[in-house]
């Protein structure tokens, strides 16, 4: 069977800090799409990693009295650990400090150079030593008496000039505008696309892509110039190529997976991905990725996450409090696609209990319990299906997956879950309508058919929720004795329906109900 290649990435995390809820959200979102496509007959490659060079890392390392490499190693480890904690199915974890990435970034540089898009110039501007940042002319206030330039934060800015290599980004202003026009799906959602287009329309300035070694040595050396290291964005963005074999453009993985289907990123770094990246690639004569997907941010109890407020949530803590699949589900269900969302304890408890414990979890538990107790601990045989049976099954076999695919194509995971939970509701309504507990005495054969139908509905639900709650779905499928090779979306069909006579074990609830005490934790 020929599978369609599908390459998806997260942004690489900057190792100046440690993982928080925002990182968790991005990587879970990407993981869900990767798993979804794998189950839907795609050959998926999923890349994530860390961005480790640059001034901030060098400075922070110095403050901590360690080398940049030691510091990066330490923090990169926390991001690697997060992929394990969150059960992320990435195929590789790239670190920009890896030797093969250095080769890739340098190869990228050479390509830009060969295309005539790199030149040595001077980077000049107003720099605040205190704030370690450059400011544009119009951001500064001139003190009339002294003619001193003051930043909005009140620190002094001085004019500095520094030798630097530049990328001829200005040359790409019109080319990019045309590119966006011809590739309307390149930047999503559209609000981000609009922002980028209006930004580019103002005209692009050339981009400084190196730093002199005297100022910054923690980076990838510029080819053929010992005195410079590459500036981080050219370095960082190239990771998407490195991860699949670049600069070996003849490699199997590179040929198969490039161009990427999705770069999933936070909305704050849209510009780098939607302007610099395609410009670099066009200059290097490499194909551009299909879509830059910019997600929103998550507020905590209505407030921006920040160290000063002290409301920064750690992935570990969240998993501890709510459970891994629970937190995955909450984030995917409650954060609308591409928009900012909110995280609240009460909100999380409500959502998790209502949908997972009371909804799907209870549906599986009540059904399997009845089968276990009333059908000799095995999947019952069934008689002819009634109209109600057929309606429910047909809905599950055809409509559910179809609708879910449609919304997942737009990366609307929260809508996909809504579609799936509609079926959970249907199934619970079906049980009450059929009342198998009453049939037990009146019509045991009919009871068996009803329970059989339900078992197959649960099978299909468990299959389709695998991307979002992989462990719990696995537990459900294990309890139904579905073999590992019968868990693809292609098996959501009557052709793979439950086999009567299959022995089952004593059922165990997959989604425990969270108590109020846990909410207070």
Q: How far is the CB of 40 from RNA (least distance, A)?
A: 21
Q: Which of residues 56-85 bind RNA (CB under 7 A)?
A: 56
Q: How far is CA 339 from the centre of its chain?
A: 14
- Sequential DSSP letters for 382-428: -----HHHHHHHHIIIIIIHHHHHHHHTTT-HHHHHHHHHHHHHHHH
Interface with RNA by CB under 7 A: which range of 104-112, 131-139, 458-466, 483-491? Answer: 131-139
Q: Which of residues 254-313 bind RNA (CB under 7 A)?
A: 267-269, 271
**DSSP structure class, residue 303:** B
Q: Which of residues 343-372 bind RNA (CB under 7 A)?
A: 347, 350, 354-355, 357-359, 361-362, 364-366, 369-370
Q: Residue 284 or 417: which CB sits closer to RNA?
A: 417
Q: Residue 145 or 432: which CB sits closer to RNA?
A: 432
Interface with RNA by CB under 7 A: which range of 100-108, 174-182, 381-389, 434-442? Answer: 434-442
Interface with RNA by CB under 7 A: which range of 101-109, 305-313, 377-385, 506-514? Answer: 506-514
Binding-residue total with RNA (CB under 7 A): 76
Interface with RNA by CB under 7 A: which range of 86-94, 180-188, 198-206, 247-255? Answer: 198-206
Q: Does 429 bind RNA (CB under 7 A)?
A: yes
Dihedral sign computed on CA atoms, order 70, 75, 79, 85: positive
User: How many Å apart are CA 256 and CA 195, to the nearest integer?
Assistant: 32
User: How many Å apart are CA 86 and CA 160, to the nearest integer?
Assistant: 45
Q: Residue 345 or 513: which CB sits closer to RNA?
A: 513
Cis preceding linkage at 189, omega within 30: yes
Q: How far is the CB of 55 from RNA (least distance, A)?
A: 6
Q: Residue 133 or 313: which CB sits closer to RNA?
A: 133
Q: Residue 41 or 60: which CB sits closer to RNA?
A: 60
Angstrom CA distances, 255 to 5, 44, 47, 96, 286, stand at 10, 14, 16, 22, 12
Q: Does 49 bind RNA (CB under 7 A)?
A: no
Interface with RNA by CB under 7 A: which range of 84-92, 201-209, 220-228, 488-496? Answer: 201-209
**Residue 160 exposed, middle or buried by CB count within 10 Å (0-12, 13-18, 19+):** middle
Q: Residue 143 or 354: which CB sits closer to RNA?
A: 354
* Token code pair at residue 120: 């040595």
User: How many Å apart are CA 149 and CA 137, to the nearest integer?
Assistant: 9
Cβ–Cβ < 8 Å for 296, 269: no
* Token code pair at residue 142: 């001139």
Q: Does 509 bind RNA (CB under 7 A)?
A: yes
Q: Which of residues 13-42 bind RNA (CB under 7 A)?
A: 14, 16
């Amino acid at each position: 069977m020929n599978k369609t290649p599908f390459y998806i990435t997260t942004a690489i995390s900057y190792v100046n800090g440690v993982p928080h809820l925002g990182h968790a959200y991005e990587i879970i979102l990407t993981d869900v799409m990767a798993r979804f496509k794998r189950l839907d007959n795609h050959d998926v490659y999923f890349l994530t990693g860390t961005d480790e060079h640059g001034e901030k890392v060098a400075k922070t390392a110095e403050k901590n009295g360690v080398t940049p490499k030691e510091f990066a190693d330490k923090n990169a480890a926390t991001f690697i650990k997060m992929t394990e904690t969150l059960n992320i199915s990435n195929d590789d974890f790239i670190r920009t400090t890896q030797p093969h990435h250095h080769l890739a970034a340098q190869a990228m540089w050479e390509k830009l150079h060969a295309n005539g898009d790199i030149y040595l110039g001077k980077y000049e501007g107003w720099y605040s030593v205190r704030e370690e940042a450059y400011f544009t002319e119009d951001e500064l206030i001139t003190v009339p008496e002294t003619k001193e330039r003051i930043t909005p934060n009140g620190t002094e800015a001085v004019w500095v000039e520094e030798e630097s290599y530049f990328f001829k980004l200005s040359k790409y202003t019109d080319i990019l505008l045309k590119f966006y026009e011809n590739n309307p799906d390149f930047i999503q959602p559209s609000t981000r696309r609009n922002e980028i287009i209006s930004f580019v329309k103002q005209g692009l300035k050339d981009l400084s892509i190196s730093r002199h070694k005297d100022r910054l040595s923690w980076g990838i050396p510029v080819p053929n110039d010992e005195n410079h290291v590459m500036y981080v964005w050219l370095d960082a963005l190239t990771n998407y190529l490195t991860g699949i074999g670049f600069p070996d453009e003849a490699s199997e993985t590179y040929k198969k997976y490039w161009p990427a289907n999705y770069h999933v990123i936070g909305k704050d770094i849209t510009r780098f991905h939607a302007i610099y990246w395609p410009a670099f690639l066009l200059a290097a004569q490499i194909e551009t990725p299909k879509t830059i997907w910019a997600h929103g941010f998550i507020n905590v109890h209505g407030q921006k996450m920040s160290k000063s407020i002290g409301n920064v949530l750690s992935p570990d803590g969240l998993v501890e409090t709510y459970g891994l699949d629970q937190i995955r589900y909450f984030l995917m269900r409650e954060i609308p696609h591409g928009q900012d969302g909110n995280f609240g304890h009460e909100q999380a408890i409500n959502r998790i209990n209502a949908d997972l414990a009371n909804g799907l979890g209870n549906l599986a538990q009540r059904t399997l319990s009845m089968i276990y107790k009333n059908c000799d601990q095995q999947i019952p045989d069934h008689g002819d299906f009634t109209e109600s049976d057929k309606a429910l099954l047909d809905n599950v076999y055809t409509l559910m997956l179809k609708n879910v695919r449609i919304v997942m194509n737009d990366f609307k995971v929260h809508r996909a879950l809504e579609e799936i939970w509609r079926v959970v509701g249907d199934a619970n309504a079906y049980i009450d309508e059929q009342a198998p507990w009453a049939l037990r005495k009146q019509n045991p054969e009919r009871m068996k058919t009803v329970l059989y139908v339900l078992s197959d509905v649960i099978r299909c639900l468990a299959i389709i929720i695998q991307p979002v709650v992989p462990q719990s779905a696995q537990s459900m499928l294990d309890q139904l004795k579905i073999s590992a090779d019968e868990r693809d979306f292609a098996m959501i069909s009557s052709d793979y329906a439950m086999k009567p006579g299959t022995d089952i074990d004593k059922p165990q609830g997959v989604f425990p109900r969270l108590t109020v005490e846990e909410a207070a934790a």
